[in-house]
């Protein structure tokens, strides 16, 4: 693996509202909302004439919306026709890949500025068919026909981790609680409500109905109750991310032009991508993902940084177990040690290394093909000190990381950012 | 648009058999066949350890095969795990985009060698659903629900061209006749039979059945008969390309390493990509494609060559009219003049500028996501003097071009090759 031949920066980034927005919003609407938000974030302004190409990350508008060929459609909506416009797919890492390919393309010299899009409108399908559509990112010959959809596949990873390292359901619950607490502070998030708030709401409702009140001492009791049903042991409802409609937009620029757009560009320090067999039965180890380890290795090597240098990160918490595993695969903690660190609050917004200040996929939402780009939006805001409400971290962020995972870990893109 | 920061070459290229191969062959089988054929074409050999990434072009395994996330699956089958593996989509230009992104990535310095895959297994769906699946590459809100599928959209382009330039059905038939004559000479083609041979076969069959023989003087009479039914006026069955299962593989290498693999690499002289609104009602002109003109402009500019320098080309003849329009959009002929040149035999294998020596999409077949990579395979063979049977052109090819179109012209990738 070589080095990029020139430096590349993010000069603007924004997103649409995330939520259950269909049919009021479809891919075209979501994307235009994200584009406008990103344009507003560019300090000195940006116009379609400044943008050389449109790189669209999307998992499956084919299955969700019966519309393929999103590249030229998205480009046309924001005035980029007849410039190059392509779609990039790697399951839930689709816009992580689009971001990476844009970084590579700008470094190659062929383009100076690229608009990276992440879009997915999942609620056009009923939820049962969403699970089916997502399952096509697993092995459609050996996993999916056997009844394994993603909650089941990640549950297998969780039980393996429980078995090998003594991890518990409470360890996973802490991750969900933290991410919801962050989501409260994100006006773009789908669920701007903490687990504690949801518990209180449930208690109030029961009281109003004159029902006997459960003996819940804290959120953990609530999360262990029937109010948080088991989906696939040990993963309960609140261990799973959301079905979301949303889009994000990131402007990538070459070093020669970046300063035209802002005095505070966020530089790409490293990019890495790894892959694995689609089916988890083809893997040597179920307690971690080889694709993450490979992507991290490349990104660290390119940047010259190591895990200790990373101050904040957005990790792909499609399920709570995925965040735990990522903390270990990325080298933030040794294998089997992340749960204790989470317990000690290290990954909280005021902890040693805040993780998923955006609320993560768990609370902000997970429009699968938009997630990678949306992670970059949060990092861009945090590194420029402009995160909304009360979620801006209290220190100057010099180096950050995003981790975007596809399928049950068959694709991973890791990006490292610096000031 | 900038220049690429380093030179990039093709050092190997091969393909699977094209045809109606499902269920004996599925995407994994087709891809492995293509990989093996490409490996054999590398003079000094190539191994998985030499390849840094796998770039997969595929239109919609989601809809054709209910399997997404092809990148890591294809990479795993040929021993590339855990290296980066991604899928690229731009309708029927998907592997043209994968090829272009691989060229860009190698030029960026991040990878030295990339395996470009093009794969599509269309016959897993019944033909009626294939048309439906392909129609998702048109505008799924304004075109497809109104009943417009691709034969109808290209028929609209054809009638506009007829109206404006006096083009005739015979002009289109000549293109089909030529491409089938080339396909006869391609052992990988789906239909290795000329129109004349098909006519003779039909006559023999009628004779055997003791039926009255039609008064067909030549292929044109046959093509105007009920044996060649109207699909969407003026396009008849033999104006349409085929529904095909197939894959292709192209190895892209940086200039520093290309000579390790072969003494006769084929260099990339230029790459261009253009886009247009998805729906044809949003275009100013129906007799040509703005995306092709833009892609060609970029590729000519990067290469320093013009249309006159191109000696052979593989054009995207998804319908015969598409080849005619491409001849004009690429600047090979003035608007309205290509039909006369075709009539004079200029695009035949022994003409001034042979077009689609492979047989084209019309005769070789059109596994949509594989087509762009398969076009590069033919150019690689022709430029190295190694095309099979009797289709090797009789002169030394120094410069060639491929033209890969997506949808009804909303995406176009043009690549120029030199020795």
Alpha-carbon distance of A101 to A122, in angstroms, equals 24
A392 versus B145: the higher-pLDDT residue is A392
Contact B60 A52 (CB under 8 A): no
pLDDT class of B2 with cuts at 50, 70, 90: low
Cβ contacts of B65 on chain A, cutoff 8 Å: 140
Contact A90 B69 (CB under 8 A): yes
Catalytic residue list contains A366? yes
pLDDT class of B412 with cuts at 50, 70, 90: very high
B337-357 tens-digit pLDDT:
999 999 999 999 999 999 999
pLDDT class of A332 with cuts at 50, 70, 90: very high
Contact A276 B90 (CB under 8 A): no
Nearest residue on chain A to B66, judged by CA atoms?
A136
Nearest chain A CA: its distance from B89 CA (Å): 5
The position carrying tokens 């996993």 is A143
Mean pLDDT within A142-159 = 94
Contact A86 B273 (CB under 8 A): yes
Nearest residue on chain B to A414, judged by CA atoms?
B84
Mean pLDDT within A263-292 = 97
What pLDDT score was predicted for residue A1? Answer: 55
Q: Which two tokens stand for residue B240?
A: 């349409």
Q: What is the mean pLDDT of chain B?
A: 97
What pLDDT score was predicted for residue B4? Answer: 85
What pLDDT score was predicted for residue B78? Answer: 98
B294-322 tens-digit pLDDT:
999 999 999 999 999 999 999 999 999 99
Of the candidates A111, A180, A316, A366, the residue annotated as catalytic is: A366
What pLDDT score was predicted for residue B280? Answer: 95
Q: Which of A157, A153, A162, A174 is nearest to A336 (CA)?
A: A162
Alpha-carbon distance of B133 to B43, in angstroms, equals 39
Contact A407 B141 (CB under 8 A): no
Nearest residue on chain A to B92, judged by CA atoms?
A69
Nearest chain B CA: its distance from A157 CA (Å): 19
Residue A2 pLDDT > 70, yes or no?
no
Cβ contacts of B278 on chain A, cutoff 8 Å: 69, 72-73, 76
Contact A60 B62 (CB under 8 A): yes
pLDDT class of A114 with cuts at 50, 70, 90: very high
What pLDDT score was predicted for residue B1? Answer: 55
**Residue to substitute from B70, B71, B289, interface A, most A β-carbons within 10 A:** B71
**Residue to substitute from A78, A108, A109, A137, interface B, most B β-carbons within 10 A:** A108
Q: Can you name the residues that pair with B102 across neighbouring β-strands?
A: none
Q: What ipTM was assigned to the predicted interfaces of this complex?
A: 0.97
Nearest chain B CA: its distance from A1 CA (Å): 5
What pLDDT score was predicted for residue B230? Answer: 98
pLDDT class of A12 with cuts at 50, 70, 90: very high
B169-180 tens-digit pLDDT:
999 999 999 999
Mean pLDDT within B276-302 = 96
Cβ contacts of A282 on chain B, cutoff 8 Å: 76
Nearest residue on chain A to B65, judged by CA atoms?
A140
Question: The pTM is what?
Answer: 0.98
Contact B411 A86 (CB under 8 A): yes
Q: Which fold has domain B8-126+242-418?
A: Peroxisomal Thiolase; Chain A, domain 1 (3.40.47)
Contact B52 A1 (CB under 8 A): yes
Nearest chain B CA: its distance from A159 CA (Å): 24
Cβ contacts of A278 on chain B, cutoff 8 Å: 69, 72-73, 76
What pLDDT score was predicted for residue A253? Answer: 98
Cβ contacts of B90 on chain A, cutoff 8 Å: 69, 71-72, 85-87
Q: What is the mean pLDDT of chain A?
A: 97
Share of chain A above pLDDT 70, in %: 100
Lowest mean pLDDT among A358-367, B128-137, B382-391: B128-137
Of the candidates B92, B121, B318, B412, the residue annotated as catalytic is: B92
What pLDDT score was predicted for residue A201? Answer: 97
What pLDDT score was predicted for residue A3? Answer: 78
- How many CB contacts within 8 angstroms connect chain A with chain B? 243
Alpha-carbon distance of B379 to B247, in angstroms, equals 16
Domain ranges of chain A: 8-126+242-418
Q: Show the 3-state SS of chain B.
A: CCCCCCCEEEEEEEECCCECCCCCCCHHHHHHHHHHHHHHHCCCCCCHHHCCEEEEECCCHHHHHCCCCHHHHHHHHCCCCCCCEEEEEECECHHHHHHHHHHHHHHHCCCCEEEEEEEEECCCCCHHHHHHHHHCCCCCCCCHHHCCCHHHHHHHHHHHHHHHHCCCHHHHHHHHHHHHHHHCCCCCCCCCCCHHHHHHHHHHHHHHCCCCCCCCCCHHHHHCCCCCCEEECCEEHHHECCCCEEEEEEEEEEHHHHHHHCCCCEEEEEEEEEECCCCHHHCCCCCCCHHHHHHHHHHHHHHCCCHHHCCEEECCCCEHHHHHHHHHHCCCCCCCCHHHHHHCCCCCCCCCCCECCCCHHHHCCCCHHHHHHHHHHHHHHHHCCCCCCCCCCCCCCCEEEEEEEECCCCEEEEEEEEC
What pLDDT score was predicted for residue A116? Answer: 98
Mean pLDDT within B60-80 = 97
Contact B68 A97 (CB under 8 A): no
Nearest chain A CA: its distance from B273 CA (Å): 5
Of the candidates B318, B366, B403, B412, the residue annotated as catalytic is: B366
Mean pLDDT within A201-217 = 96
A73-95 tens-digit pLDDT:
999 999 999 999 999 999 999 99
Which residue from B67, B72, B97 is facing A140, i.e. has the nearest CB? B67
Catalytic residue list contains B92? yes
Mean pLDDT within A9-20 = 98
Cβ contacts of A68 on chain B, cutoff 8 Å: 59-60, 63, 89, 91, 136-137
What pLDDT score was predicted for residue B127? Answer: 86
Alpha-carbon distance of B305 to B300, in angstroms, equals 5
Share of chain B above pLDDT 90, in %: 96
Cβ contacts of B73 on chain A, cutoff 8 Å: 139, 277-278, 410
Of the candidates A54, A92, A249, A412, the residue annotated as catalytic is: A92
């Amino acid at each position: 693996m070589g080095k990029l031949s020139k430096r590349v920066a993010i000069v603007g980034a924004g997103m649409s509202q995330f939520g259950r927005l269909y049919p009021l919003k479809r891919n075209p609407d979501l994307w235009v909302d994200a584009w406008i938000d990103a344009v507003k974030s560019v300090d000195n302004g940006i116009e379609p004439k400044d943008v050389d190409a449109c790189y669209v990350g999307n998992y499956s508008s084919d299955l969700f919306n019966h519309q393929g060929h999103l590249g030229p459609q998205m480009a046309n909506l924001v005035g980029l026709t007849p410039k190059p416009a392509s779609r990039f797919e790697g399951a839930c890492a689709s816009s992580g890949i689009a971001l990476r390919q844009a970084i590579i393309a700008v470094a190659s010299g062929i383009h100076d500025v690229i608009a990276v899009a992440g879009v997915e409108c999942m609620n056009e399908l009923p939820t049962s068919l969403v699970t089916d559509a997502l399952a096509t990112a697993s092995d459609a010959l050996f996993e999916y026909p056997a009844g394994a959809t993603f909650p089941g596949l990640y549950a297998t990873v969780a039980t393996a981790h429980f078995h090998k390292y003594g991890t518990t359901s409470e360890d996973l619950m802490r991750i969900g609680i933290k991410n919801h607490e962050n989501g409260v502070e994100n006006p773009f998030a789908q669920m701007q409500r903490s687990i504690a708030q949801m518990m209180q709401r449930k208690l109030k409702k029961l009281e109003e109905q004159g029902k006997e009140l459960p003996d819940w001492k804290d959120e953990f009791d609530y999360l262990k109750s029937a109010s948080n049903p088991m989906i696939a042991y040990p993963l309960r409802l609140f261990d799973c991310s959301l079905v979301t409609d949303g889009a994000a937009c990131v402007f990538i620029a070459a070093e020669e032009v970046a300063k035209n757009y802002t005095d505070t560009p966020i530089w790409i320090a490293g990019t890495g991508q790894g892959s694995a067999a689609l089916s988890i039965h083809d893997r040597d180890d179920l307690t971690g993902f080889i694709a993450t380890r490979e992507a991290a290795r490349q990104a660290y090597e390119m940047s010259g940084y190591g895990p200790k240098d990373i101050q904040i990160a957005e990790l792909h918490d499609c399920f709570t177990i995925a965040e735990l595993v990522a903390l270990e695969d990325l080298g933030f903690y040794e294998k089997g040690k992340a749960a204790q660190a989470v317990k000690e609050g290290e990954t909280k917004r005021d902890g040693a290394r805040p993780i998923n200040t955006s609320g993560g996929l768990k609370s902000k939402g997970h429009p699968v093909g938009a997630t990678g780009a949306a992670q970059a939006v949060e990092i861009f805001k945090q590194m420029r000190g402009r995160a909304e409400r009360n979620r801006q971290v209290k220190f100057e962020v010099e180096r950050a990381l995003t981790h975007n995972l596809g399928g049950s870990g068959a694709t991973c893109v890791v990006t490292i950012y610096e000031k």
